[in-house]
Chain A
Amino acid sequence: MAYIRTISPWQARGELRRVYQEIRRDMVGSRPFPLALTAWNIMRVFSLRPTLLRAFERCFLLTMWGGRLRRQAKEALGVTVSQANRCEY
């Protein structure tokens, strides 16, 4: 459990619910996928600030999907930084 309060997709209302829905649409398109499965823990930790959550998700898409560097290289760099910061997530 995170050190701060988070709001799950089931509890989310208003803007936060809309952001969770946008994330699902960006991940799986229009497939009927449970909201909870695309709201990962790292996203839920931003749930107290829906604006930040929306920015974080868009930045994730732009960084990992945009640009010219191949996907494998991006994943390798991500694993390296995570390992260097001993991030279990």
Chain B
Amino acid sequence: MPTRTARELEKQPTGAPVEEDLHALVTLAERVTKHPAEIRPAEIATAAATAQSRGEFLDAVGVIIGFNFVTRVANALGVDPEIPSWLGRFEFARHLARSSTAMLLRWFVDLSPRQPGLRPVEENLNALGRRFGEIGIESLPECFRPLKEAPHLLEVQRELFEAHLKQIGPAGKIGMDLCAFMAAGLTTLDEIGAPLLRGQVAEWVQRHGTESPDCLLNGGQESPCGSAPLDVVVARFARDVTRRSYSITNERVEELRSLGLNDERILDLVCGIALWNACGRLEILLGGLPCSPEQALGPMSRSAQRQVAATR
């Protein structure tokens, strides 16, 4: 991308000099990132209509949700820029460092399109369905089904969920704290306004929330420091990572640590929140996507779309 365009996008994305189809996608990306609950299906339909093809629109959705995941992880865990911040004080040095990095990437990294190996679509859908079943969500959330048309994005979702909810041991125990994952999910989806996914998570919380003695949803009775209950702190953390991840400081992470979460669990928690942020936006973006006759998404997806439209 030309440096000037990149700078304009950094300053004001919707005012950057880009092509019409890209302008519509950039506007949608900004809206769904900042105000997901306010997005109307018509906005999504407009952006989808200006895209070159339905496939390209789905690719754009993949990039939008991917960056919603990774920027939240980077903000919430204080990931340093590759170019040291002290260099930012000297514009010339910063420019030089950026140019050298870009040149290094162009020389050594192959940026041309590749087709990484993909597993069959049905296998990926079944695997996702099984994974959700294992954590107690019986039906695969609707937001994943339209990804049949974008197999590489379906593969992405499978990769992330499998890694996140990784089974360990023959008993099939979930690798991360499932209660934390679901509690964070409920808060996150409340903020984003993804009704179908939120409904499934809320149902799970009602069924399982208080069963486990060490569940975060039981009122945080085991909170070791005796201060704010862990569930409240986790919910507040999830809300802030969702609303304004840039405001998360080391002190907030220390607060989690002081309540007994080690670094591995903090990483799990942040990734979980970021994953729910991505999935909630996936539901919003694909729920508002018009269904063309030749690329029907299936009856369940259409009914899901009607439900999404009805709740707004």
Contacts and interface: CB of A to CB of B under 8 A. Distances in A.
B246 interface: yes
Contacts of A75: 1, 6
Contacts of B22: 72-73, 76
Which of A5, A58, A76: most chain B CB closer than 10 A? Answer: A76
B9 A60 contact: no
A45 B159 contact: no
A12 interface: no
A31 B9 CA distance: 33
Interface of B: 1, 5-6, 9-10, 13, 16, 18, 22, 25-26, 29-30, 33-34, 53, 55-56, 58-60, 62-64, 66-68, 70-82, 85, 108-111, 113-116, 118, 150, 152-153, 155-156, 159-160, 162-164, 166, 244-246, 250, 253, 263-264, 266-268, 271
Interface of A is mostly: helix
Nearest to A84: B33
Contacts of A48: 263-264, 267
A61 B114 contact: yes
Interface of A: 1-5, 27-29, 31, 33, 40-42, 45-46, 48-49, 51-52, 54-56, 58-69, 71-89
A63 B116 contact: no
Which of B58, B78, B150, B253: most chain A CB closer than 10 A? Answer: B78
Contacts of A89: 71, 74-75, 79-82
Contacts of A62: 116, 118, 152-153, 155-156, 159
A4 B156 contact: no
Interface of B is mostly: helix
Given A77-B26, A80-B26, A88 B81 contact: yes
Nearest to A37: B104
Contact of B268 (A29, A49, A68, A86): A49
Q: Which 9 A-B pairs give the minimum distances between C-beta atoms?
A: A55-B163, A69-B59, A67-B59, A81-B67, A66-B152, A87-B71, A86-B246, A84-B33, A89-B74
Contacts of B6: 75, 79
A22 B244 CA distance: 33
B74 A87 contact: yes
B267 A78 contact: no
Contacts of B33: 80-81, 84-85
Contact of B246 (A41, A52, A85): A85
Contact of A4 (B1, B25, B266): B266
Contacts of A84: 13, 29-30, 33-34
A63 B267 contact: no
